[in-house]
Structure 1
Amino acid sequence: MKSFNKLFTLSLVTLAVSSVAHADVRINGFANFTGGIASSEDTLYGFEDSIDYANQSLFGLQVSGDVSENVTATGQIVTRGSDDFSANFEWAYLTYAATENTSISIGRLRMPLFRYSSSLDVAYSYHWVVAPASVYDVPFNNIDGIRVDYTGYSGDWEYGLQFVTGNVNNEFTLGGQPGELTINNVALVSADLAYENWKFRGVYAAGKVTFDIPALDAPLGQLGQISSDFESKLQAVDDSGVFYGASIEYDAFNWFVAAEYTGIEIEDSFYPQEENYYVTAGIRAGKWTPFITYEKSDINRDPKFVGDIAAFPAPLQVPLTQLVVGIQQSVMSENNTLSVGTRYDLSTSIALKADITKFTNDINDEEDSLVRFAVNYVF
């Protein structure tokens, strides 16, 4: 699958470059220079108790051009400090303007999962130093597939509808363990509504999910020696998963308040039901935008399938319980985060930001704190 995705992306880029060679090419860029330091002996979002300038810094270039009257090609390359500033194609797609209101895109695309999905890497587009991790930190932002966009008006309402289908294949980390995530046959629908000062959004997606996490091979193998049925129940192999979300925003220009909620469910697997949300508010006073944000992430549920263990002989119930519960607890977490910060618009393309974050682990009551500052610019 990875080889196909790379070949598919390379083919699109080659087609785009050759097609726009004699056309107007538009180049836009963005960068986030972010520094941070956690309090003594704390580790939070990759920052430790010595100042780090690379972890959340990035630089990106977006190139687009007209292939024909109705077709445009777009490519986006991003280098991230967390990846040693290696250059990666985040987007590479062609867009066909079918009508004045409808467009169809094919290639590697950003999925419309969140309120700020399309500009997630462009920190200049929002007030935070970094978008709230409780909601936005997912390993499936991009997809190889097709997206259909439709926009229109109805009276004083402005609306946008999107449909996406395709596949996801990414490296990720779960419960501190590295692995590979595959989501096939993704189908996503989203809707955006705007009315005067209000904005509303909803999204629902489904797909077949597979986790390949080497660290879980041993405990799942032990479970399989006792019961292959339980091993199958806990494994995440081509299991049905859903993602859903909603957001609301009120912007009075000199102040704003917004909230966003997301959930993830992979019912027939070891992965617990996940719920995340944030609430944020800020004031615009000239070039200054002070803000406050509260986040909550809850992946802490009663272990699944425990009630089925009673059907096994008594000598097997204890080891079964230990394995079934232990595998699920390895990925459970529950935390809340409070951030206070400010943004200063130095110019129409440069923003300076700083925030202080307090992170609380609700399972063991441990607390971490972090100070960050950033320069965001677009060109």
Structure 2
Amino acid sequence: MKLGFRIALRFLKSNKGQTLLIILGIAIGVSVQIFIGSLIQGLQKGLIDKTIGTSSQITISSQDGNLNTKDYEEFIEVIRKEDREMEAISVALDNAALMDYKENSQSLLVRGFELNVADGIYDIFDRIVEGTYPKNDNEIILGIDLKEEYDMALQEEVTINTAEQKVHSFKVVGFFDFKVSSLNTGWGITTLQTAQNIFATGDVISSIELQLKEDSVFLADEIAENIKKDINREDIKIVNWKEQNESLLSGLQGQSISSYMIQVFVMISVVLGIASVLAITVIQKSKQIGILKAMGIRNVSSSYIFLFEGLILGFFGAILGIVLGLGLSFAFTKFALNPDGTPVIDLYINYSFIMISGIIALLASAFAAMIPAAKSSRLNPIDIIRNN
């Protein structure tokens, strides 16, 4: 094998232009694969983050809309069996109300949270653009769109009218921006204790909300089904983001399939290119191979020459391709920008994907080299020397 490796290096060095051209061809194939793959993965991650990244991905509620203390504590214990998949577990109490401010009225969904816990799902603290979060009773934060529409200011009072015709005065201590108009105009966020007090629900919640870890997001339906089996209650409703966002899921799957198809055809073109060039090399080097066989080199050793050529070309092509692919991805995030200067698609580097792409290129190169390797092993040295 050492002899085959040394001869392979000598063959490659004897025609440096051809060698560099093959390496560049492999590198372009790998770089396109990494660039397309990273682009699609970054786009998908961005879409997930913007649509469900800061919202409940699995929601547990009862058919009548309320969960008592005994129920939700029991359910949380069940959920913690799937703890390796969970990023955050939060409880919420939701009630529709009417908000009065000066002479204006606005329908509002008042959401009561344990804010420190709910922040793990909604990033509430980071989304407060003015003021602070509710810390005391009868404090509330509203969306930035309501502030602009009604010209509100911090520390002003708003009136919340419940469905039971009870009136409560709230102090506005902050304004949030969830980047979604319906939330910025329709939500009012307060503490869980305050929500339970003003709606007189007692120690009751509306739902348990779950945020999954990044690598488990697409397993939401399976995890929800496991939780449903463990809870085993007909009066409990469990929904996951995949059920609620079928069109988004279909779009993501379409992107993935198109990305895989592009990558497959790119690698096929790389394999064919390497195989054709090495096949020509067998013809070019047939005289040398015939002389080596006449000197006693075995057929297996002559095959190793071209297998090693394929591996060497694949290795350097993969390394160069990874560098080019990362460079293309980085350059794209610098030139493709939104009006506010942020990248259209954030740079997403998946080290496992990059490593797999490099390994695929290496294996493809070795596979491509098998055809000329088999051809070289069948060469008859007597015929070669006679014909030359």
- Report the TM-score when normalising by structure 1: 0.21
Flag the structure with larger Rg.
2
Q: Which has the larger share of strand?
A: 1
- Report the TM-score when normalising by structure 2: 0.21
